[in-house]
């Protein structure tokens, strides 16, 4: 189910986030644009930083005609990072007979796995409350295995943010979003909470509901794919940054100004050398 935020700013941001997540490690090629999953540094992959190992697996009786494994290793060019990203793709070899002979080609990977980093979760600062960081990390860890469950956890994480950061607690997420929207419209929402982010949270509520309340109608199966779950994860990252980190940076700056002012006032009050 695609996310369709009304506001174009957030829609553009989410689109670009999706585009970056689609370039996962198993699609990375020499000379392609690639974003390191550890440090988010965008780079062009050079020959000495990528290595593919291809092997035909010599096993008999498999459902796959000839199982074929490709392992791709990429090293980040950012000097501060230099981490190794490792992925594996399993496909099969197809043999096609033509008038000029037989052609063997490798199918697109039927299955692929990111082996390193173990999770796509980015380290989050201490100014984000621990239960929210834990939900975020869990949503990242199960994204590929169960995108639906991942979306449900993200929904809970966003509800936790509304309760903690915005101080709204009403029991149902739909009512909490309604109240937050009213605060934004009246200009009384906490600093950093924008109209478009409330819209985006409302979309996540709809998607997360599928996982949370599916048991009410077992015939309704609406899938959330890993790319869609990833979009929700990245919305959470964006809000951690726009809400918690921005507030923390602002508080730190104001504290520094306060400290400088206090220091100057003290220096002014202290008797100068030579004075009685
Ligand atoms: Zn990196």
Cα(217) to centroid(ligand 1), Å: 44
Cα(261) to centroid(ligand 1), Å: 40
d(CA 149, CA 143): 8
Judge if the upstream peptide bond of residue 117 is cis by omega within 30 degrees of 0: yes
Cα(127) to centroid(ligand 1), Å: 23
As a dihedral over the C-alpha atoms of residue 193, residue 197, residue 198, residue 202, rounded to 10 degrees, the angle is -150
- Taking only Cα atoms into account, the Rg of the chain, rounded to an integer number of angstroms, comes to 25
Cα(141) to centroid(ligand 1), Å: 19
- pLDDT at residue 20 in the model: 38
Cα(224) to centroid(ligand 1), Å: 29
- pLDDT at residue 273 in the model: 61
Cα(150) to centroid(ligand 1), Å: 25
Cα(218) to centroid(ligand 1), Å: 43
Cα(77) to centroid(ligand 1), Å: 7
Cα(101) to centroid(ligand 1), Å: 45
d(CA 5, CA 249): 28
Cα(178) to centroid(ligand 1), Å: 40
Cα(42) to centroid(ligand 1), Å: 8
Residues 104, 107, 113: CA angle, nearest 5 degrees? 135
Cα(88) to centroid(ligand 1), Å: 19
Cα(51) to centroid(ligand 1), Å: 16
Burial 64-86 (b: 16+ CB within 10 A, else e): eebbbebbbbbbbbeeeeeeebe
Cα(111) to centroid(ligand 1), Å: 25
Q: Which residues pair with 106 in a beta bridge?
A: 93
Helix-, strand-, coil-residue percentages of the chain, each rounded to 5 = 50, 20, 35
Cα(20) to centroid(ligand 1), Å: 14
- pLDDT at residue 256 in the model: 94
- pLDDT at residue 17 in the model: 44
**DSSP assignment string, 91-158:** EEEEEEEETTEEEEEEPPPSEEEEEESS--PPP--TTS-HHHHHHHHHHHHTTTT-HHHHHHHHHHHH
Cα(80) to centroid(ligand 1), Å: 7
CA 170: distance to chain centroid? 28
Sign of CA dihedral 130, 176, 3, 200: negative
Cα(79) to centroid(ligand 1), Å: 8
Residue range 55-79, pLDDT digits in tens? 988 888 887 778 889 999 999 999 9
Cα(36) to centroid(ligand 1), Å: 5
In which residue ranges of the chain is pLDDT below 70?
Answer: 1-27, 208-222, 272-276
- pLDDT at residue 275 in the model: 59
Indicate the burial class of 27 (C-beta count within 10 angstroms; 0-12, 13-18, 19 or more).
middle
Element housing 221 (H / E): none
The pairing of strands 67-75 and 50-56 is antiparallel
Residue range 217-263, pLDDT digits in tens? 545 446 788 888 888 899 999 999 999 999 999 999 999 999 999 99
């Amino acid at each position: 189910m695609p996310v369709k935020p009304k506001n174009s700013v957030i829609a553009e941001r989410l689109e670009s986030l999706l585009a970056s997540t689609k370039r996962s490690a198993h699609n990375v090629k020499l000379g392609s644009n690639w974003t390191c999953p550890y440090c988010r540094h965008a780079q062009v992959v050079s020959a000495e930083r990528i290595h593919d190992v291809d092997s035909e697996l010599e096993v008999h009786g498999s459902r796959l005609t000839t199982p074929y494994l490709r392992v791709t290793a990429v090293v980040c060019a950012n000097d501060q990072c230099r981490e190794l990203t490792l992925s594996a793709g399993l496909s099969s070899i197809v043999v096609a007979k033509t008038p000029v002979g037989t052609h063997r080609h490798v199918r697109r990977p039927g299955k692929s796995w990111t082996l390193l980093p173990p999770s796509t979760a980015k380290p989050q600062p201490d100014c984000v409350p621990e239960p929210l960081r834990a939900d975020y990390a869990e949503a990242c860890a199960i994204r590929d295995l169960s995108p639906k469950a991942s979306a449900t956890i993200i929904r809970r994480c966003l509800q936790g943010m509304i309760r903690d950061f915005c101080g709204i607690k009403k029991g149902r997420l739909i009512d909490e979003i309604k109240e937050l929207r009213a605060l934004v419209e009246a200009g009384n929402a906490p600093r950093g909470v924008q109209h478009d982010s409330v819209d985006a949270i409302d979309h996540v509520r709809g998607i997360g509901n599928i996982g949370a309340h599916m048991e009410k109608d077992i015939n309704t199966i609406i899938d959330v794919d890993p790319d869609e779950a990833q979009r929700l994860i990245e919305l959470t990252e964006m809000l951690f940054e726009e809400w918690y980190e921005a507030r923390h940076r602002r508080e730190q700056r104001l504290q520094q100004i306060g400290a400088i002012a206090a220091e100057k006032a003290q220096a002014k009050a202290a008797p100068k050398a030579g004075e009685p």
